[in-house]
């Protein structure tokens, strides 16, 4: 098993930490993992991405040219990564912010109204968690419990109230994701 | 008849014959520092930084732990030492090229951090060891090996005042410029150095003592005339006096 | 045993240094290693240490020099342009026999270059980038776990030999997170008789003015030390070399990619292996030379894979010493290999 996952969105959408949570959850399941952020000048508002590789074997490179799965939270990221996905790969879209149709026909496409759901449950910032929940549902690469279990490792100082909100976001994403 | 010792060489000064030219201020300042170290009884607690310049072999003469720094980096080396050994007295001994040219950054930033060190700055307006080239403190019109027609502001700019620069910073605790060209000023300078070191021992922070010094050989003057030049010419450009003394009784 | 954690290379490195007894860090920000000073600024005060953001890399390395003069476990870190600025200080540290640890998380060059991973500082690191006859001990990790292990080793070797030690990683290793196990906090008791601060008239210096005897003697002592290091500090990994007819030589990031390429090539029946130097200085010359004989017997090749041009390759040539053919696969300017490129290179080269 070798899965190459790219998460992408605006800076400030919590892309890097979402990748970290995903890698952490896979690590808890006994997998080899790498997490690699885009680094440098991107700050809030810029585009931002990170790469997560999950494998049974030692991982050669954390850098991904052709992702198996691209999790995209905004339109510029969809435009960038849709063409890069592996043949018969998968795209998971934040439907709240991406209205366009997917051009490629070989891709499996998963949808979640991540931003809307996040807002509904209390904070638009947890859209990253909503889409991760959706990812868990659609791919089964990690399970929802391992994501929840990893929250404390990735956010060691997070107050309980916020932790609960993040858990809720993961669960809502898991429950409401759908594939066309 | 009983004999009474009226004077002896400071204990912290070694027996080694100094390599400094006859009449050079370095020897005077070395001796003052050795005396002060004896008087405070801190021979085992003082750590010197030897600079690149004529005083690089300072450790041959002053019998204390010493770290030789690369050119201009004495204040950074002093920082590293003081942060590891906050209870030792760290004395950075530097010349004008070291402190104000190549080491300007290190000088100002150590001062700006308020490092609890004492910087002794020998300003003789010339590069001694390399053979009399222009220093950042060379006076306008002063002839050196690299300003044969005299320092021209249009090409070389103006001499830099170290005390004036450091005095623009908030952190330093004590800043004073003095001279060692006659016995009266030597005694005064000793007291200033002693005060600076006392402040360090009391954890007050950064102290800076600039000493107008001679360089008879590279100035092309006799020791006597060179001391006169400090008096008549040099101190007009670099006025002596205290710039800051945060420990002064109000 | 400590639990497995997912840690970023730069942060794992910083924590490993703290656990190896490092209590003094001096550095200047530069990408892609900024997590190291950020981590240290928070962590060192917790363990009674000191963090200073210096005014430059020049100042950083000289603050390290001062701290090491007192026998403290001190370090600095930077990336390529900043390491260039430290070369003067490295020469002085070597000349004064000081046990400093310096980290270079390499980025693309020359000049300001970019912030992507690179290995273009290899020669600067292993040949002594400053003036004079000296060597740094240079170690190169290829995973976050190895960053941790080798950072600790850096401090051990620095103090064992009183010599500056450099760890060279690259932007990828510094930025990526992997599962790691950190060692327990090491209780360091360095009992050193040469340090300043004990009032024993200790002198830390690298000036030896009398050329006909003193500096020559000092250099002879340094060389003797370097010989001892060469005999005692060689480290490398062999991956599937026993039956290999051709061998990749690669360190750090590209060595990981080579391993993946090897697995695929072997599925195609091509017997390649990897020789991965971990100590870059001293270089595992003898061990590579022996492998070169094996490769020559199979009429195979040594394939140098580096994110630089003709740098590692120079040491490989010296080690192989003409025994077999050497070819090189290079990636310049901060780009990274993928396994397909390496596999294609081998397949094409066989035709």
CA distance B45 to C201: 10
CA distance B226 to B216: 6
CA distance C290 to C234: 15
Question: Nearest Cβ partner of A33 from C179, C261, C263?
Answer: C179
Fold held by A2-179 = Pyruvate-ferredoxin Oxidoreductase; domain 3 (3.40.920)
Residue A91's closest CA among A106, A71, A105? A71
H or E segment and range at residue B48: strand B46-50
Distance from the Cα of B79 to chain C's closest Cα (Å) equals: 6
CB spacing of C339 vs A37 below 8 angstroms: no
Edge-first strand listing for the sheet containing C50-53: C50-53, C24-27, C74-78, C101-106, C165-170, C137-139, C279-281
Any A CB within 8 A of C53 CB: no
Question: In order of start, what are the domains of chain C with their CATH numbers?
Answer: 4-232 (3.40.50.970), 237-350 (3.40.50.920)
CB spacing of A61 vs C179 below 8 angstroms: no
Residues contacting residue A170 through CB under 8 Å, at least 6 positions apart: A129, A130, A132, A133, A136, A144, A147, A148
CB spacing of B67 vs C205 below 8 angstroms: yes
Q: Is B244 helix (H, G, I), strand (E, B) or coil?
A: strand
CA distance C250 to C248: 6
At C302-332, the pLDDT tens digits run 999 999 999 999 999 999 999 999 999 999 9
φ/ψ of B3, rounded to 5, equals -105, 140
Pair type for strands C236-239 and C177-181: unpaired
Q: Helices (DSSP H) in C47-167: which residue ranges?
A: 57-69, 80-85, 87-95, 122-126, 144-161
Q: Is A102 helix (H, G, I), strand (E, B) or coil?
A: coil
Distance from the Cα of B4 to chain C's closest Cα (Å) equals: 31
* List of chain C residues with pLDDT < 70: 1-2
Residue B187's closest CA among B44, B21, B28, B3? B28
**What's the half-sphere exposure (Cβ side, CA atoms, 13 Å) at C70?**
29
Q: What integer pLDDT is reported at residue B180 of this predicted model?
A: 98
Return the axis-axis angle of helices B74-84 and B104-113, rounded to nearest 10°.
30
Question: Nearest Cβ partner of A39 from C175, C259, C260?
Answer: C175
Q: What integer pLDDT is reported at residue A11 of this predicted model?
A: 85
CA distance B158 to C74: 39
Q: What integer pLDDT is reported at residue A180 of this predicted model?
A: 80
pTM of the model: 0.95
Any A CB within 8 A of C171 CB: yes
CB spacing of A36 vs C177 below 8 angstroms: yes
Which one-letter DSSP state was computed for residue A142?
Answer: S
Q: Which of C59, C99, C132, C194 to mutate to test the interface with B (most CBs of B within 10 A)?
A: C59
Question: Nearest Cβ partner of B69 from C56, C62, C201?
Answer: C62
β-strand partners of B123: B212
**What's the half-sphere exposure (Cβ side, CA atoms, 13 Å) at C116?**
15
Residues contacting residue C66 through CB under 8 Å, at least 6 positions apart: B49, B67, B69, B76, B77, B78, B79, B80, B81, B82, B83, B84
Chain mean position to CA A130: 9
Question: Nearest Cβ partner of B80 from C64, C199, C200?
Answer: C64
Return the axis-axis angle of helices C216-232 and C144-161, rounded to nearest 10°.
140
CB spacing of C176 vs A39 below 8 angstroms: no
Q: Which residues of C touch A25 (CB under 8 A)?
A: none
Q: Which of A39, A59, A86 to mutate to test the interface with C (most CBs of C within 10 A)?
A: A39
At B158-198, the pLDDT tens digits run 999 999 999 999 999 999 999 999 999 999 999 999 999 99
Percent of chain B residues past pLDDT 90, beyond the cut: 98
Any B CB within 8 A of C41 CB: no
CB spacing of A61 vs C6 below 8 angstroms: no
Which residue of B lies nearest to C50 if distances are taken between CA atoms?
B83
Question: Nearest Cβ partner of C257 from A20, A60, A154?
Answer: A60
Domain boundaries, chain B: 25-245
* Summary mean pLDDT of chain B: 97
Residues B188/B241, Cβ–Cβ less than 8 Å: no
**ipTM, 2 dp:** 0.95
Domain boundaries, chain A: 2-179
Neighbours of A104 (CB within 10 A): 13
Q: Which of C196, C200, C205 to mutate to test the interface with B (most CBs of B within 10 A)?
A: C196
φ/ψ of C336, rounded to 5, equals -120, 145
Any A CB within 8 A of C305 CB: no
At C53-105, the pLDDT tens digits run 999 999 999 999 999 999 999 999 999 999 999 999 999 999 999 999 999 99
Q: What integer pLDDT is reported at residue C213 of this predicted model?
A: 73
Q: Which CATH architecture does the domain made up of B25-245 adopt? A: 3-Layer(aba) Sandwich (3.40)
Any A CB within 8 A of C58 CB: no
CB spacing of C260 vs A60 below 8 angstroms: yes
Question: What is the per-residue DSSP string for A153-175?
Answer: HHSTT--HHHHHHHHHHHHHHHH
At A63-103, the pLDDT tens digits run 898 999 999 999 999 999 999 999 999 999 999 999 999 99
Q: What integer pLDDT is reported at residue C190 of this predicted model?
A: 81
Residues C89/B67, Cβ–Cβ less than 8 Å: no
H or E segment and range at residue C315: helix C312-320
Q: Is B227 exposed, middle or buried (0-12, 13-18, 19+ CB in 10 A)?
A: buried
Q: Which residues of C touch B79 (CB under 8 A)?
A: 26, 52, 59, 63, 66
Chain B touches chain A, with at least 3 Cβ pairs below 8 Å, answer no
């Amino acid at each position: 098993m070798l899965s190459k996952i790219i998460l992408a969105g605006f800076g400030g959408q919590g892309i890097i930490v979402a990748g970290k949570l995903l890698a952490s959850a896979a690590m808890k399941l006994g997998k080899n993992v790498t997490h690699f952020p885009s680094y440098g000048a991107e700050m809030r508002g810029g585009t931002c991405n990170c790469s997560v590789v999950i494998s049974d074997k030692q991982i050669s490179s954390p850098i991904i040219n052709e992702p198996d799965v691209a999790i995209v939270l905004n339109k510029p990221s969809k435009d960038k990564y849709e063409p890069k996905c592996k043949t018969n790969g998968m795209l998971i879209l934040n439907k709240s912010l991406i209205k366009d149709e997917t051009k490629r026909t070989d891709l499996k496409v998963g949808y979640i109204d991540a931003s809307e759901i996040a807002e509904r449950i209390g904070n638009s910032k947890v859209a990253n968690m909503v889409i991760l929940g959706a990812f868990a549902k659609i791919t089964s690469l990690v399970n929802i419990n391992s994501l929840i279990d990893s929250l404390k490792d990735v956010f060691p100082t997070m107050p309980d109230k916020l932790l609960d909100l993040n858990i809720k976001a993961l669960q809502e994403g898991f429950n409401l994701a759908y594939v066309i | 008849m009983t004999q009474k010792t009226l004077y002896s060489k400071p204990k912290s000064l070694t027996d080694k014959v100094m390599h400094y030219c006859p009449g050079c201020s370095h020897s005077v300042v070395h001796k003052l520092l050795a005396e002060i170290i004896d008087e405070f009884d801190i021979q085992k607690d003082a750590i010197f930084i030897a600079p690149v310049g004529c005083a690089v072999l300072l450790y041959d003469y002053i019998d204390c732990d010493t770290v030789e720094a690369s050119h201009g980096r004495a204040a950074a080396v002093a920082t590293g030492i003081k942060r590891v050994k906050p209870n030792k007295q760290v004395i950075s001994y530097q010349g004008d090229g070291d402190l104000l040219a190549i080491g300007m950054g290190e000088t100002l930033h150590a001062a700006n951090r308020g490092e609890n060190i004492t910087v002794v700055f020998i300003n003789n307006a010339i590069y001694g060891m390399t053979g009399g080239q222009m220093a950042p403190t060379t006076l306008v019109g002063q002839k050196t090996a690299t300003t044969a027609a005299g320092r021209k502001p249009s090409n070389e700019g103006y001499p830099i005042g170290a005390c004036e620069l450091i005095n623009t910073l908030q952190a330093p605790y004590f800043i004073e410029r003095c001279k060692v060209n006659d016995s009266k000023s030597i005694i005064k300078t000793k007291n200033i150095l002693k005060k600076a070191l006392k402040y360090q021992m009391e954890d007050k922070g950064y102290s800076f003592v600039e000493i107008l010094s001679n360089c008879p050989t590279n100035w092309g003057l006799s020791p006597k005339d060179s001391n006169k030049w400090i008096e008549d010419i040099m101190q007009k450009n670099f006025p002596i006096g205290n710039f800051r003394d945060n420990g002064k009784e109000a | 045993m400590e639990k497995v954690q997912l840690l970023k290379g730069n942060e794992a490195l910083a924590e490993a240094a703290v656990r190896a007894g490092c209590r003094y860090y001096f550095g200047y920000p530069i990408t892609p290693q900024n997590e190291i000073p950020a981590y240290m600024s928070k962590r060192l005060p917790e363990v009674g240490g000191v963090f200073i953001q210096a005014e430059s890399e020049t100042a950083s390395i000289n603050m390290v020099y001062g701290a090491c003069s007192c026998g403290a476990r001190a370090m600095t870190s930077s990336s390529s342009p900043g390491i260039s600025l430290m070369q003067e200080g490295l020469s002085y540290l070597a000349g004064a026999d000081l046990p400093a640890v310096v980290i270079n998380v390499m980025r693309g060059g020359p000049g300001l270059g970019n912030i992507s991973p690179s290995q273009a500082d290899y020669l600067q690191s292993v040949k002594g980038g400053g003036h004079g006859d000296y060597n740094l001990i240079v170690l190169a990790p290829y995973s976050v776990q190895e960053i941790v292990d080798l950072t600790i080793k850096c401090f051990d070797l620095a103090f064992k030999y009183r010599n500056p030690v450099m760890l060279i990683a690259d932007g990828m290793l510094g930025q990526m997170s992997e599962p790691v196990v950190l060692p327990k906090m090491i209780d360091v008791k360095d009992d050193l008789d040469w340090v300043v601060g004990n009032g024993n008239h200790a002198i830390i210096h690298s000036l030896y003015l009398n050329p006909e005897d003193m500096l020559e003697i000092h250099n002879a002592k340094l060389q003797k030390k370097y010989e001892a290091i060469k005999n005692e500090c060689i480290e490398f990994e062999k991956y599937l070399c026993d039956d290999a007819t051709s061998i990749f030589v690669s360190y750090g990031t590209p060595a990981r990619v080579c391993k993946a390429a090897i697995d695929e090539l072997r599925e195609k029946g091509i017997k390649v292996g990897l020789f991965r130097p971990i100590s870059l200085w001293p270089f595992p010359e003898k061990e590579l030379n022996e492998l070169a004989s094996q490769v020559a017997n199979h009429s195979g090749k040594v394939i140098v894979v580096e994110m630089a041009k003709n740098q590692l390759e120079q040491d490989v040539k010296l080690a192989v010493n003409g025994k077999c053919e050497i070819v090189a696969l290079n990636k310049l300017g901060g780009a990274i290999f993928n396994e397909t490129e390496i596999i294609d290179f081998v397949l094409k080269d066989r035709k």
